[in-house]
């Protein structure tokens, strides 16, 4: 987030409660995960600075490697680094080649159908990198989108998709060796390279960076059945936000501009879960359309709200407030589905995924959203939270059909609080 909280905005009792809650929650999860002592197998590419690379001696290095080492140590498990190549990321994680992918992975709805993401730990953005000598030829990002322009990009990753979507008239050249991308510029085999704001800053030479022109969340990814591991990592990340350790790593690897307060991180996690849930709705609309089903499904909506009530009560929250918020989420989700139908007759899908698979992905994100609400409930009622939530929703939601609901969503989140048995918010 580019905006920052003023020093006094969160110097409240609620903020101290947040820190205590996340640390206690992390400790419970750590104890549960530590008992076996099996190696924590972390998949990383080793070619994506500053998240995952190798030092001069060939040892793994980078932000995500540092996080993996601390996570494994805190879990009481030895760390095993498993290399992957980007085109095989999803297949290898689904095949359990490793437990968690930690390599600057970008959160996307298509990936969330078959994987599960943790709360985000950074927000990046795609950029175009060109030679400084070409500054007059390429003044804007849009100048890349023309015949004859050769655009190099890492093969199989999120940025290849970005390059193809934004520059359909150019010649996009995927490169399997991500480390060779800067060389493609300097030796003249590419006119431009698509990278992200963090990686591009690590490249040497007389280069010009244009953008960013996307907003991409970085998170860790686990298999679809690794529910407890995902919750463990989320709680651990929240605890490392509270004690400042993650910010130490951000300053070292990502730069001072990537630093978040604990409340920055919590709000980004809330908005990320809301956004990902809504990003899944066009796919829900597509599979419904394929099956000849209507957008409206009162029985499913009732099941979702009942499941929400149970989860909220289990986590010690005022269930009525959480259910009211999810009722609004259902309303927004249907608006996105209807907008998808009206715009394009729903996205096309193949034989997979099934409606059950997509609903399972939505349910997983919903569970994560409830966890984040519970983690933040102690301070969501603060006036500053209401203002910041609306700003973050306005910036962080990708579905245009959701934007008219931003004010109502911020107010609904603002009203979420612990149950009466947990004591007053202040």
Q: What is the pLDDT of residues 238-279, one digit of tens each?
A: 999 999 999 999 999 999 999 999 999 999 999 999 999 999
> How large is the average pLDDT for residues 117-146?
97
In contact, 207 and 132? CB cutoff 8 Å: yes
| Burial letters 41-52, b for 16+ CB under 10 A, else e | bbbbbbbbbbbb
Q: Which pLDDT belongs to residue 9?
A: 40
pLDDT in tens, 146-202: 999 999 999 999 999 999 999 999 999 999 999 999 999 999 999 999 999 999 999
Q: Which pLDDT belongs to residue 299?
A: 96
Q: Which pLDDT belongs to residue 351?
A: 53
Say which residue, 307 or 426, is predicted with more confidence. Answer: 307
Q: Domains in the chain, start-ordered, CATH in brackets?
A: 13-123+217-258 (3.40.190.10), 126-214 (3.40.190.10), 271-422 (1.20.59.10)
> How large is the average pLDDT for residues 199-224?
96
Q: Which pLDDT belongs to residue 30?
A: 40
Band (107; pLDDT cuts 50, 70, 90): very high
Q: Which pLDDT belongs to residue 421?
A: 55
Q: Using the predicted structure, report yes or no on whether residue 133 has a pLDDT greater than 60.
A: yes
Q: Using the predicted structure, report yes or no on whether residue 4 has a pLDDT greater than 70.
A: no
Q: Using the predicted structure, report yes or no on whether residue 26 has a pLDDT greater than 80.
A: no
Q: What are phi and psi of 43, to 5 degrees?
A: -85, 130
| Residue 144 CB contacts under 8 Å (≥ 6 apart), including other chains | 128, 138, 151, 166, 167, 170, 191, 192
pLDDT in tens, 338-373: 998 776 544 544 456 899 999 999 999 999 999 999
> How large is the average pLDDT for residues 378-389?
94
Band (55; pLDDT cuts 50, 70, 90): confident
The percent of residues in the chain predicted with pLDDT above 70, rounded, is 88
Q: Using the predicted structure, report yes or no on whether residue 1 has a pLDDT greater than 90.
A: no
> How large is the average pLDDT for residues 24-45?
63
CA distance 30 to 28: 5
Band (35; pLDDT cuts 50, 70, 90): very low
Say which residue, 396 or 34, is predicted with more confidence. Answer: 396
Q: Which pLDDT belongs to residue 344?
A: 58
In contact, 218 and 104? CB cutoff 8 Å: yes
Tokens linked to 376:
């933040």
Q: Using the predicted structure, report yes or no on whether residue 284 has a pLDDT greater than 70.
A: yes
Band (57; pLDDT cuts 50, 70, 90): confident
Tokens linked to 188:
């003249």
CA distance 190 to 193: 7
């Amino acid at each position: 987030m580019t905006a920052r909280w003023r020093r006094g905005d969160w110097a409240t009792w609620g903020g101290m409660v947040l820190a205590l809650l996340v640390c206690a929650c992390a400790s419970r999860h750590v104890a549960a995960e530590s008992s076996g002592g099996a190696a924590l197998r972390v998949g990383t590419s080793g070619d994506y600075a500053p998240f995952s690379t190798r030092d001069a001696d060939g040892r793994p290095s980078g932000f995500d490697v540092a996080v993996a080492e601390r996570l494994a140590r805190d879990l009481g498990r030895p760390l095993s680094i498993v290399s992957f190549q980007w085109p095989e990321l999803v297949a290898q994680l689904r095949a359990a080649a490793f437990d968690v992918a930690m390599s600057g992975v970008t959160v996307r709805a298509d990936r969330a159908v078959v994987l599960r993401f943790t709360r985000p730990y950074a927000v990046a953005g795609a950029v175009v990198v060109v030679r400084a000598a070409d500054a007059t030829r390429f003044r804007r990002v849009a100048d890349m989108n023309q015949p004859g322009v050769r655009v190099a990009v890492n093969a199989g990753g999120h940025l290849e998709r970005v390059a193809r979507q934004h520059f359909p008239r150019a010649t996009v050249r995927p490169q399997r060796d991500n480390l060779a991308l800067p060389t493609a510029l300097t030796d003249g085999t590419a006119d431009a390279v698509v990278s992200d704001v963090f990686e591009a800053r690590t490249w040497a030479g007389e280069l010009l960076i244009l953008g960013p022109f996307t907003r991409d969340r970085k998170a860790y990814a686990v298999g679809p059945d690794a529910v407890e591991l995902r919750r463990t990592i989320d709680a651990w990340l929240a605890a490392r936000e509270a004690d400042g350790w993650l910010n130490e790593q951000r300053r070292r690897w990502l730069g001072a501009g990537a630093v978040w307060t604990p409340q920055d991180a919590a709000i980004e996690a809330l908005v990320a879960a809301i956004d990902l849930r809504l990003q899944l709705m066009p796919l829900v609309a597509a599979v419904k359309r394929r099956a000849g089903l209507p957008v409206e499904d009162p029985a499913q909506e009732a099941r979702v709200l009942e499941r929400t009530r149970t989860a909220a009560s289990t986590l010690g929250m005022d269930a009525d407030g959480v259910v009211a918020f999810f009722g609004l989420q259902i309303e927004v989700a249907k608006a996105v589905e209807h907008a998808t139908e009206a715009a394009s007759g729903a996205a096309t899908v193949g034989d997979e995924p099934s409606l059950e698979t997509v609903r399972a992905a939505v349910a997983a994100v919903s569970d994560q959203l409830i966890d984040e609400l519970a983690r933040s409930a102690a301070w969501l009622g603060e006036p500053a939270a209401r203002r910041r939530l609306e700003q973050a929703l306005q910036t962080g939601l990708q579905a245009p059909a959701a934007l008219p609901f931003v004010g109502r969503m911020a107010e609904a989140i603002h009203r979420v609080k612990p149950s009466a048995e947990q004591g007053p918010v202040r």
